[in-house]
Amino acid sequence: MPTKRVYLETMGCQMNVLDSELVIGQLCALGYKPTDDYHTADLVLINTCSVRHRAEEKAYSRLTAIARAKTERPNMIIGVIGCMVERDHEGIRQRCPYVDLLCGPGNLNEIPALLATVEETRVQAIALEHDHSRRLPSAERTLLYNSIEELDMSRRTPPDGRTLQAYVRVQRGCDKFCSFCVVPFTRGPERNRPPANIVIEARRLVDMGAKEITLLGQTINSYAYTDSSTGRTVRLADLLEQVHEIEGLQRLRFVTSYPGDFTDDILQAMRDLPKVCEYLHLPAQSGSNAVLKRMRRRYTAEQYTELIARARETVPGISLAGDFIVGFCGETDAEHAETLALIERVGYKNIYMFKYSPRPATVADRSLPDDVPEAVKKRRHLDLVEYQKRSGLAHHQGFIGRTVEILVEGFSKAAIKAQEAEQERNNHVSWKRGDQLVGRTRTDEIVVFTGPKSMIGQLVTVWITAATALTLHGEADQTSAPATVVD
């Protein structure tokens, strides 16, 4: 039988990127080969995001295009997986009746079984965690959770062999129910993975060649796991320490933190554990206490800035990133100005800004009017974009003349493009890739630099010579040995 091909397109957050990697791993074990052209695929999967309306519309437009390809290949199986399925499987089935397989993010371990059903019966197959996981008695909930845990534990080398940087989930779901957010509805209640499993998975990844691990959770600082036999609770700071011990691991990161219950032991762990990078993603969402209250975020702007001050004091050189929503229900010009003031006060390395998008079933959608006109949302969004441009450039210029330690990820995309164009023009057979490499600093700045190919995958020292709002440019220090981290 010829090899079956799978095409998987991922939308949304890092958690989805990880889910997709795990799904591809499962499918490769079934004999599938990944392809990046859906026209030639036997199985096409879209891993969806529900966090904003636009992300869902994008998924629908991709599905329409894929459905056209299916008319040429009637045996093609089309699957929709991820958050949109959990939120609105009825809607997907109505708008896209040709979809064969639907699977929510809490059931991805069931994909092989769903595929078998579709292949045997040609009937639409569906798996959801749905709202019943909240109602299940706790023993059943654990059982459900144990089977999805196997998905994370089934981790193998990704088909493209890219293992340098890896994500490891430490937490599923979220219990915070911010009034604007759909995540608690799509990914279910917060469940923390056993630390022993997280360490096993991380160690396996390091054995496969990972140098950098990013731990993932929606509110990762609330991570806590109590061992039922010893009664001992492992919190995020303890977990960082345990993963930090893995020999061969060079860098450790964790995202996303919730500003509400952020304890000092995490900051101390960041300070004391050399592999933990000085980078904190701490979404504020707004700088106005009235808006924060309507958003049901459980902190004030003052508490947020106090936390930032503690972080700066405890972890020297810490770099900060944040998320902001503009145009949330009832947001006035004065409230928006408070957000701008908070942003200036904090001085982020990077901010991610979003226009409020009402999500069905959330508290805000049910009880607050989406009354900020689109034009105003756009203008406020632009204010934040402007800030980002201005501060990004100033932040990067501060690096000129300094040396930084970077983990070299590969060839710079711009360099690859230029070389490919060159190759096309000259039709060279003996084409050699350029020596423009790209990597990241500990504090997450992107650095493009000149250096030998052998540096890929290494920690090296780079001397920064120029900067733009998005990237740093430099020269590798080829005289020094690659920088090392003391284990």
Residues that bind ligand F3S (CB under 6 A): 174, 176-178, 181, 183-184, 218-219, 258
- Cβ distance to ligand SAH smaller for residue 323 or 435: 323
Query: Residue 184: which of ligand SAH, ligand F3S, none does it interact with, CB under 5 to 8 A by kind?
Result: ligand F3S
- Cβ distance to ligand SAH smaller for residue 84 or 101: 84
Write down the least CB distance from residue 169 to ligand SAH, Å.
13
- Cβ distance to ligand F3S smaller for residue 299 or 399: 299
Q: Residue 90 corresponds to which tokens in the numbers above?
A: 């009825």
Q: Which stretch binds ligand SAH (CB under 6 A): 151-159, 331-339, 356-364, 449-457?
A: 356-364
- Cβ distance to ligand F3S smaller for residue 7 or 328: 328
- Cβ distance to ligand SAH smaller for residue 285 or 458: 285
Write down the least CB distance from residue 96 to ligand F3S, Å.
26
Compute how many other C-beta atoms are within 10 angstroms of the C-beta atom of residue 416: 15
- Using CB under 6 A as the binding rule, whether residue 307 contacts ligand SAH is answered as no
- Using CB under 6 A as the binding rule, whether residue 180 contacts ligand SAH is answered as yes
- Using CB under 6 A as the binding rule, whether residue 357 contacts ligand SAH is answered as yes
* Long-range contacts at 110-115 (CB < 8 A, ≥ 24 apart): 111/23, 111/26, 111/27, 111/79, 111/81, 112/26, 112/27, 112/30, 114/79, 115/30, 115/43, 115/77
Contacts with ligand SAH, 190-229, as mask; x by CB under 6 A: ----------------------------xx----------
- Cβ distance to ligand F3S smaller for residue 258 or 299: 258
- Cβ distance to ligand SAH smaller for residue 238 or 323: 323
Spell 446-476 as b/e; 16+ CB within 10 A means b.
bbbbbbeeebbebbbbbebeebeeebbbbeb
Write down the least CB distance from residue 219 to ligand F3S, Å.
5
- Using CB under 6 A as the binding rule, whether residue 5 contacts ligand SAH is answered as no
Query: Residue 52: which of ligand F3S, ligand SAH, none does it interact with, CB under 5 to 8 A by kind?
Result: ligand SAH
Quick one: which of 16, 107, 133, 256 contacts ligand SAH (CB under 6 A)? Answer: 256
Query: Residue 325: which of ligand F3S, ligand SAH, none does it interact with, CB under 5 to 8 A by kind?
Result: ligand SAH
- Cβ distance to ligand F3S smaller for residue 362 or 458: 362
Write down the least CB distance from residue 285 to ligand SAH, Å.
6
Query: Residue 177: which of ligand F3S, ligand SAH, none does it interact with, CB under 5 to 8 A by kind?
Result: ligand F3S
Q: Provide the CA 449 distance to its chain's centre, in angstroms.
A: 26
- Using CB under 6 A as the binding rule, whether residue 285 contacts ligand SAH is answered as yes
Chain positions contacting ligand SAH, by CB under 6 A:
51-52, 180-181, 183, 218-219, 256, 258, 283, 285, 323, 325, 354, 356-357, 359
